[in-house]
């Protein structure tokens, strides 16, 4: 007979409520700094659970307008659970982190994908699209996601943490802040901004601290937006359940933090709020490799991808080159970022044809333009959230880098393959837009 005697549940080291603003909860922080004390300590080999709010800290709601995305306070992101110290970890070691599971909260079976405003967050095509806020709410049912804001698609998620990393040393933190401030100085008044310097406004550490320590963390703490040498916000969708990660350790205890959980994401997370963002629970186990930084030349994390992946074998692949074909036609020299953007724009243009709502000729030019923009925003959101794959095809053939972007055809409820007769007319509604109707 089964008994409880030898059945010990994995402990939850940090508990949060996904419906309460992050700044009202313990065990959460939104800056990187070595002086943030660990909220808990584990021994190597222990298995434990961490609960996470969504990356904005409950700023986005399950509704049918995007005003919350328009007005999101990005000084308050990302909201991370931690830090968790690992007993015995020392600078120069390698912290091995096994991601055993990533799941949404049962009481919050939904997530969202957003397009930010040009002046508040931006995204890959913020300038090209002169972005206005839009979003899609996704219902999470088992392993599948569907959206009332992007009808006609259903796909299996690849749950993962968008952001995971160890704490920086004081020296590494100073290096980050110096080099990023130099970049900001080179691009004054850039929209969207090229980097975010330390900002006390909105900074938060959900622990009891001396006022002097808190002020120092808020004054010096690095923003969580970019990935860096310690890991951080790299948004690697294959860092899913079953993955093993190798992180460099910079301070005693390593101080692991995690957040920005995703139900699904396409390679590139192009709209910036470009995954299916969710609150949820992640399960870890850790170990230490002494001297691992030197042993493995560990300048940045390395990882083994998850053995669990949706089986979408057929993909419609779009290529992009290092030429601004969709813009001014400028020739770039081996620029993979330009090539990725062109591949994505080619895919968006195609999806706007494959998922067109009505023939524009039936409407006034203003209404037709609005319909086209809605189809574009739906496509932009979909490519951000679905398990889209991107690869560098070639990066040696001057002057054009080649990047591909593959869309799994199996996620659509209708055929999107090229057809000699074109595509039938369908109605796909619209994504959630601002309450003032601006797109």
Position 436 in a domain: no
Q: Assess whether 39 and 88 both reside in one domain.
A: yes
With a cut of 80, say whether residue 370 has pLDDT above it.
Answer: no
Task: Place 369 in a pLDDT band, splitting at 50, 70 and 90.
Answer: low
Q: What is the mean pLDDT of residues 202-231?
A: 98
Position 299 in a domain: yes
pLDDT at residue number 1: 84
Q: What is the pLDDT of residues 181-192, one digit of tens each?
A: 999 999 999 988
Q: Assess whether 72 and 145 both reside in one domain.
A: yes
pLDDT at residue number 334: 96
Q: Distance between CA atoms of 159 and 149, rounded to whole angstroms?
A: 21
With a cut of 50, say whether residue 312 has pLDDT above it.
Answer: yes
Are 84 and 282 in contact, with CB atoms under 8 Å apart? no
Domain boundary among 243, 277, 304: 304
Position 19 in a domain: yes
pLDDT at residue number 428: 87
Q: What is the mean pLDDT of residues 218-234?
A: 98
Q: Report the 10 Å Cβ neighbour count for 360.
A: 14
Position 157 in a domain: yes
pLDDT at residue number 166: 98
Q: Assess whether 198 and 265 both reside in one domain.
A: yes
Position 259 in a domain: yes
Mean pLDDT over all residues of the chain? 95
Position 378 in a domain: yes
Closest CA to 351 of 365, 321, 372, 366: 372
**Residue 287, token pair as written in the block:** 């170990």
Q: Assess whether 261 and 396 both reside in one domain.
A: no
**CA max distance for the chain:** 73
Domain boundary among 304, 334, 367: 304
> Which residues lie closer than 8 Å to 161 by C-beta, 6 or more apart?
52, 99, 102, 239, 258, 259, 260, 261, 262, 282
Q: Assess whether 257 and 383 both reside in one domain.
A: no
The whole domain housing 155 covers 4-304
Q: Assess whether 261 and 382 both reside in one domain.
A: no
Between 7 and 204, whose confidence is greater? 204
Partners of residue 280 on adjacent β-strands: 52, 104
With a cut of 60, say whether residue 360 has pLDDT above it.
Answer: no
Are 22 and 30 in contact, with CB atoms under 8 Å apart? yes
Position 421 in a domain: no
Tell me which residue has tokens 């030898």.
Answer: 6
pLDDT at residue number 303: 97
Q: What is the pLDDT of residues 402-431, one digit of tens each?
A: 999 999 999 999 999 999 998 888 778 899
With a cut of 80, say whether residue 364 has pLDDT above it.
Answer: no
With a cut of 60, say whether residue 362 has pLDDT above it.
Answer: no
Closest CA to 384 of 149, 204, 197: 149
Helices (H) and strands (E) in the chain, counts: 7, 22
pLDDT at residue number 218: 98
Are 63 and 148 in contact, with CB atoms under 8 Å apart? no
**DSSP β-ladder status, 47-52 and 12-14:** parallel
pLDDT at residue number 358: 45
Q: Assess whether 231 and 336 both reside in one domain.
A: no
Q: Report the 10 Å Cβ neighbour count for 430.
A: 21
pLDDT at residue number 361: 46
Q: Assess whether 371 and 246 both reside in one domain.
A: no
With a cut of 80, say whether residue 128 has pLDDT above it.
Answer: yes
Closest CA to 282 of 107, 110, 161: 161
Residue 421 burial class via C-beta count within 10 angstroms: exposed 0-12, middle 13-18, buried 19 and up: exposed
> Which residues lie closer than 8 Å to 15 by C-beta, 6 or more apart?
27, 51
Task: Place 368 in a pLDDT band, splitting at 50, 70 and 90.
Answer: low
pLDDT at residue number 355: 76
Residues in the chain: 439
Task: Place 365 in a pLDDT band, splitting at 50, 70 and 90.
Answer: low
pLDDT at residue number 336: 97
Q: Assess whether 243 and 389 both reside in one domain.
A: no
Partners of residue 244 on adjacent β-strands: 98, 304
pLDDT at residue number 363: 42
CA dihedral (85, 90, 94, 96) positive or negative = negative
pLDDT at residue number 424: 85
CA 188 to chain centroid? 26
> Which residues lie closer than 8 Å to 216 by C-beta, 6 or more apart?
33, 35
Q: Distance between CA atoms of 176 and 196, rounded to whole angstroms?
A: 11
CATH of the domain at 208: 2.60.120.580
Q: Distance between CA atoms of 72 and 171, rounded to whole angstroms?
A: 32
Q: Assess whether 11 and 153 both reside in one domain.
A: yes
What does pTM read for this prediction? 0.95
Q: Assess whether 213 and 167 both reside in one domain.
A: yes
Query: How many domains does the structure of the chain reveal?
Result: 2
Position 309 in a domain: no
Are 393 and 402 in contact, with CB atoms under 8 Å apart? yes
Are 155 and 407 in contact, with CB atoms under 8 Å apart? no
Q: What is the mean pLDDT of residues 378-395?
A: 97
Q: Assess whether 288 and 322 both reside in one domain.
A: no
Q: Distance between CA atoms of 316 and 416, rounded to whole angstroms?
A: 9
């Amino acid at each position: 007979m089964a008994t409880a005697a030898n059945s010990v549940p994995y402990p939850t080291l940090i508990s949060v409520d996904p419906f309460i603003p992050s700044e009202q909860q313990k065990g959460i922080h939104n800056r990187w700094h070595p002086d943030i004390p660990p909220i808990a300590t584990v021994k190597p080999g222990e298995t434990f659970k961490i609960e996470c709010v969504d990356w904005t800290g409950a700023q986005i709601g399950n509704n049918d307008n995007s005003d919350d995305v328009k007005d999101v306070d990005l000084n308050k992101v990302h909201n991370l659970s931690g830090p968790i110290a690992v007993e015995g970890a020392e600078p120069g070691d390698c912290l091995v982190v096994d991601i055993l599971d990533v799941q949404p909260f049962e009481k919050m079976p939904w997530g969202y994908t957003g397009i930010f405003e040009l002046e508040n967050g931006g995204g890959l095509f913020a300038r090209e699209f002169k972005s206005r806020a839009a979003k899609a709410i996704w219902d999470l049912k088992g392993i599948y996601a569907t959206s009332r804001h992007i009808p006609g698609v259903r796909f299996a998620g690849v749950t993962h943490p968008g952001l995971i990393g160890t704490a920086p040393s004081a020296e590494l933190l100073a290096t980050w802040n110096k080099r990023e401030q130099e970049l900001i100085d080179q691009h004054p008044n850039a929209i969207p901004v090229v980097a975010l310097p330390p900002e006390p406004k909105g900074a938060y550490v959900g622990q009891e601290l001396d006022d002097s320590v808190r002020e120092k963390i808020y004054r010096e703490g690095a923003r969580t937006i970019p990935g860096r040498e310690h890991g951080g916000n790299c948004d690697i969708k294959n860092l899913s359940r079953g993955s093993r990660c190798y992180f460099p350790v910079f301070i005693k205890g390593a101080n692991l933090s995690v957040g920005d959980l995703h139900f699904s994401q396409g390679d590139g997370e192009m709209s910036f709020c470009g995954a299916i963002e969710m609150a949820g629970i992640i399960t870890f186990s850790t170990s230490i490799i002494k001297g691992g930084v030197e042993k493995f030349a560990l300048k940045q994390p390395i990882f083994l991808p998850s053995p669990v992946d949706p089986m979408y074998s057929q993909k419609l692949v779009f290529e992009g080159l290092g030429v601004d074909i969709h813009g001014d036609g400028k020739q770039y020299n081996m620029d993979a970022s330009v090539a990725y953007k062109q591949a994505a724009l080619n895919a968006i243009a195609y999806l706007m044809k494959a998922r067109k709502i009505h023939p524009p000729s039936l409407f006034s030019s203003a209404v037709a333009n609005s319909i086209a923009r809605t189809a574009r925003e739906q496509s932009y959101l979909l490519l951000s959230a679905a398990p889209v794959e991107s690869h560098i095809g070639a990066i040696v053939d001057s002057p054009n880098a080649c990047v591909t972007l593959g869309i799994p055809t199996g996620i659509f409820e209708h055929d999107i393959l090229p057809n000699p007769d074109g595509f039938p007319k369908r109605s796909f509604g619209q994504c959630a837009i601002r309450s003032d109707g601006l797109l």
